[in-house]
């Protein structure tokens, strides 16, 4: 979603901002813009050509004026269409103050009405523009930019990350945030603001977090941060775990195929040092003492999208190995219920980005109600990592493709490690049982590698399905979260209506949709419910559906019931999800590509979802 970058003290702020915006592209955007301070004037250019806005700005490079500072933005439209006049930066009536904004200003209508009555002229339909006019009013009453932003932030409701500059203070950037992420950085001569670590890594690794309601003043080579009361804050340095190279395509057709292929490595890295040969576990960043974990009465997993499916895939291990009651909840629903939580509840948020606003607020709410909290994320020191009591980091490297692949499988595997860890702390497994389970988890990178090795076979099979319009994905037990994930991937990438359903539930209604036009994909790898699943397959076959069966390699009994077969290496059902999901990733990828879709940036979607 929206991205922010600001630079001061550079000989080429335009170049640095455009490099940053290009790195932020993966978050998803539909327009972009830049403002520079040149002499004592503001120069601003914006573009809203879908998929080409950054390219259009780049072409302006040679005409950009000499400047030392600027701010840039990629916008994912929420309030107002993705047009040039709604693109950021927004300016005030004088054209001397510019602002870029991520998040939502909830009281923007109220503020706009007041500003309109005072005679301000707004030129966009966005919630963001009001902030420029608020600052204009404060400057007119004698404040400098820093003071003006301090005062203005106090009247804003909602989630925001904001960066400002003024033609009257050419080398100063001011930034503030509430809930939305924003960081600042410096070298000896440059100052930076960004919503995303990866956008500024090429310039510096000296980066600092801005806390909620803090205001930062960034000048060439220096940073000053004050809290909401105006007291100076010691900036908290961020740990940076990736290099810039990790975000390159390296010869693959697209990031998604690269990231599918990276799964064995992502899983192996996630497991390094965490499972010892005898089946004991090491989770050092967890930080919650073992005795506290031992006394946990139940676990509530909160997450969205693919991360939610990872939670469902890990639930069986938490219940069966650790014998802890576990529910898995959609974060955007959980947050607005009145959940019963006490100090013995462990709330485990799963979020690849560590920024998803629904999950972040659900996590905060759980903490407010007294739960112990852990976040399982791929981004070190991300917003949620800083919020939760403990952290579990997947080590999948940056995921650029909008559809989660390697982070999803790494989440599943790390959740299984956590379940084993909890089981050992709670003394629910014998050392022998733990050693067997540990060995099974440890074998997953190799098994996933074998599945990924069949990429071309899966792709060729999927191409037979390029014309599908409506697909059911069915599964039971371990196969159900995989079915949900298969359906989500097909929807988001191939734009095909797809539904994930528990196979045993079909007879309670949806089977009336099955006829000879239906395509039904069934996760039929071996497990306790295998026989029952075969009966469910017979039910849809009897109604003429085309049946695609995902089964263990060489499983003739399952294969015989299929029109199309996808095979994966056989694996114990408790840890099978990360292996079984691979062919479905390729299925969605191949159908999407066959239809000419952009697999890295599917329409309407963003990598980091920072709005509710």
Which residues are near ligand F6R by CB under 6 A?
Answer: 304-307, 351-353, 356, 359, 403-404, 488, 492, 609
CA neighbor of 183 nearest in space, from 157, 152, 163, 210: 210
Residue 278 per-residue DSSP state: T
Strand partners, 299: 326, 346
Residue 91 per-residue DSSP state: E
Least distance to ligand F6R, CB of residue 605, Å: 8
Least distance to ligand F6R, CB of residue 9, Å: 33
The tokens of 147 are what? 């003071």
Closer residue to ligand F6R in complex, CB, 349/545: 349
Least distance to ligand F6R, CB of residue 307, Å: 4
Dihedral of alpha carbons 196, 198, 202, 204, sign: positive
Least distance to ligand F6R, CB of residue 189, Å: 34
Q: Which are the contacts of 56, defined by CB distance < 8 A and separation ≥ 6?
A: 47, 49
Q: Give the whole-angstrom CA distance, residue 467 versus residue 456.
A: 19
Return the residue matching tokens 């010892």.
276
Closer residue to ligand F6R in complex, CB, 68/361: 361
CA neighbor of 355 nearest in space, from 397, 307, 423: 307
Q: Give the whole-angstrom CA distance, residue 285 versus residue 296.
A: 18
Q: Distance of CA 151 to CAs 147, 154, 230, 505, Å?
A: 6, 5, 11, 56
Q: Distance of CA 427 to CAs 290, 291, 294, 434, 453, Å?
A: 12, 12, 9, 10, 38
Least distance to ligand F6R, CB of residue 371, Å: 18
For residue 109, whether the previous peptide bond is cis, meaning omega lies within 30 degrees of 0, is no
Q: Give the whole-angstrom CA distance, residue 59 versus residue 106.
A: 35
The tokens of 53 are what? 């806005």
Buried b (16+ CB within 10 A) or exposed e, 401-413: bbbbbbbbbbbbb
Residue 603 per-residue DSSP state: T
Whether 2 is catalytic: yes
Buried b (16+ CB within 10 A) or exposed e, 578-589: bbbbbbbbbbbb
Closer residue to ligand F6R in complex, CB, 192/403: 403
Least distance to ligand F6R, CB of residue 612, Å: 12
CA neighbor of 63 nearest in space, from 42, 43, 33, 88: 43
Least distance to ligand F6R, CB of residue 447, Å: 22
- Active-site position among 2, 326, 551, 580: 2
Whether 407 is catalytic: no
- Active-site position among 258, 406, 489, 607: 607
Helix (H) or strand (E) holding 105: strand 97-105
Q: What are phi and psi of 392, to 5 degrees?
A: -125, 115
Closer residue to ligand F6R in complex, CB, 19/259: 259
Length of the chain: 612
Closer residue to ligand F6R in complex, CB, 176/404: 404
Least distance to ligand F6R, CB of residue 534, Å: 30
SS3 38: strand
Closer residue to ligand F6R in complex, CB, 102/166: 102
CA neighbor of 523 nearest in space, from 569, 472, 480: 480
Closer residue to ligand F6R in complex, CB, 226/247: 247
Least distance to ligand F6R, CB of residue 379, Å: 8
Closer residue to ligand F6R in complex, CB, 217/492: 492
Please give the residue whose beta carbon sits closest to ligand F6R in the complex.
Answer: 305
Closer residue to ligand F6R in complex, CB, 194/382: 382
- Which positions are annotated as active-site residues? 2, 607
């Amino acid at each position: 979603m929206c991205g922010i970058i600001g630079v001061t003290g550079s000989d080429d702020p335009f170049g640095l901002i455009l490099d940053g915006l290009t790195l932020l592209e993966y978050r998803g955007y539909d327009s972009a813009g830049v403002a520079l301070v040149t002499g004592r004037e503001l120069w601003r250019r914006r573009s809203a050509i879908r998929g080409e806005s950054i390219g259009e700005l780049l072409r302006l490079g040679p005409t950009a004026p000499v400047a030392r500072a600027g701010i840039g933005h990629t916008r994912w439209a929420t309030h107002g269409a993705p047009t040039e006049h709604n693109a950021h930066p927004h300016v005030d009536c004088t054209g001397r103050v510019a602002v870029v904004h991520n998040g939502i200003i909830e009281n923007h209508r109220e503020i706009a009405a007041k500003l309109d009555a005072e005679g301000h002229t707004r030129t966009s339909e966005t919630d963001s523009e009001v902030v420029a006019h608020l600052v204009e009013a404060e400057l007119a009453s004698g404040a400098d930019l820093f003071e003006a932003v301090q005062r203005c932030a106090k009247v804003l409701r909602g989630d925001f990350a904001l960066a400002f500059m003024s033609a009257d203070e050419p080398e100063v950037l001011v930034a503030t945030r509430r809930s939305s992420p924003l960081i600042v950085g410096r070298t000896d001569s440059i100052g930076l603001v960004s919503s995303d670590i990866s956008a500024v890594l090429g310039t510096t690794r000296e980066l600092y977090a801005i806390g909620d309601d803090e205001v930062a003043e960034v000048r060439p080579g220096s940073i000053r941060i004050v809290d909401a009361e105006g007291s100076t804050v010691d900036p908290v340095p961020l740990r940076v775990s990736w290099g810039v190279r990790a975000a390159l395509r390296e010869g693959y057709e697209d990031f998604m195929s690269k990231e599918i292929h990276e799964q064995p490595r992502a899983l192996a890295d996630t497991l390094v040092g965490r499972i010892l040969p005898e089946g004991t576990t090491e989770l050092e960043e967890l930080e919650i003492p073992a005795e506290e974990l031992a006394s946990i009465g139940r676990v509530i997993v909160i997450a969205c999208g693919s991360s939610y499916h990872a939670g469902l895939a890990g639930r069986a291990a938490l219940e069966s190995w650790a014998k802890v009651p576990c529910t898995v909840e959609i974060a955007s629903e959980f947050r607005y219920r009145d959940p019963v939580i006490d100090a013995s509840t462990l709330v485990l948020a799963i979020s690849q980005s560590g920024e998803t606003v629904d999950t972040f607020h659900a996590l905060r709410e759980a903490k407010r109600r007294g739960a112990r909290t852990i976040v399982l994320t791929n981004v070190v020191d991300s917003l949620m990592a800083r919020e939760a009591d403990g952290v579990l980091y997947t080590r999948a490297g940056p995921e650029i493709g909008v559809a989660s692949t390697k982070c999803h499988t790494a989440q599943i595997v790390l959740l299984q490690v956590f379940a084993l860890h909890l089981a050992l702390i709670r003394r629910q497994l014998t050392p022998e049982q733990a050693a067997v389970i540990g060995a099974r988890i440890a074998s997953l990178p190799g098994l996933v590698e074998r599945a990924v090795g069949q990429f071309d076979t899966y792709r060729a099979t999927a191409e037979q399905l390029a014309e599908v319009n409506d697909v059911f994905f069915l599964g039971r037990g371990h196969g159900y979260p995989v079915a949900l994930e298969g359906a989500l991937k097909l929807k988001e990438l191939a734009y095909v209506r797809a539904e994930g359903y528990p196979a045993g539930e079909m007879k309670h209604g949806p089977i009336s949709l099955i006829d000879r036009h239906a395509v039904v994909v069934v996760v039929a790898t071996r497990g306790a419910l295998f026989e029952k699943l075969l009966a469910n397959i017979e039910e849809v076959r009897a109604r003429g559906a085309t049946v695609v069966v995902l089964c263990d390699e060489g499983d003739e009994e399952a294969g015989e019931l299929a029109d199309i077969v996808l095979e994966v290496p056989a694996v114990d059902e408790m840890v099978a999800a990360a292996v079984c999901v691979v062919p479905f990733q390729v299925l969605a990828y191949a159908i999407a590509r066959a239809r000419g879709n952009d697999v890295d940036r599917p329409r309407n979607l963003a990598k980091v979802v920072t709005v509710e």
